[in-house]
Structure 1
């Protein structure tokens, strides 16, 4: 496993230690899980924005859901 060093203020370290204690996890686990969750959420939001832009810039028009049901014989 690789180690990453991070410089933070004493006040930030105290806050992070208190949050880790509050969450019932180690400081390392808190930073790892919260960082990855935030990055994954940011990635998902960017992908959604790109997909929406692509849809808005396309010539396709949306259809009512009933049209899809008819195509699928539902």
Structure 2
């Protein structure tokens, strides 16, 4: 397993330790879990934004849900 060193201020360290105790998780676990979760959310948002931009640039047309449901015989 790899190790990464991160420098934080005394106030940040105090907050991280507080949150560690508050959540009942190790300091390492909260930093890893919440950092990765946040990065995944950022990635998802960026991919979505890029897809929407491409959709608009290509002149794609959205379909109304009622039309899709009729097309597939969904009631």
Could you say whether these structures have the same fold, taking a TM-score greater than 0.5 normalized by the shorter chain as the test?
yes
Structure 2 counterpart of 1:51:
51
How many aligned residue pairs are there? 74
RMSD of aligned residue pairs (Cα, Å): 1.3
TM-score by length of 2: 0.86
* Cα shift at 1:51: 0.9
Deviates more, 1:3-12 or 1:44-53: 3-12
Question: Gaps spanning 5+ residues in structure 2: where?
Answer: none
Residue 9 (structure 1) shift? 1.6
Segment drifting more, 58-67 vs 42-51 = 58-67
User: Is 1:71 aligned to residue 53 of structure 2?
Assistant: no
What is the DSSP-based 3-state SS (H/G/I as helix, E as strand, rest coil) of the residue aligned with 1:59? coil
Runs of 4+ residues deviating >4 angstroms: none
Structure 1, gaps ≥5 residues long: none
d(CA) in 2 for partners of 1:5, 1:34: 16
3-state SS of paired residue (2:60)? coil
Using a 3 Å threshold, how does the CA distance of structure 1 residues 63 and 9 change in structure 2: closer, same or farther?
closer
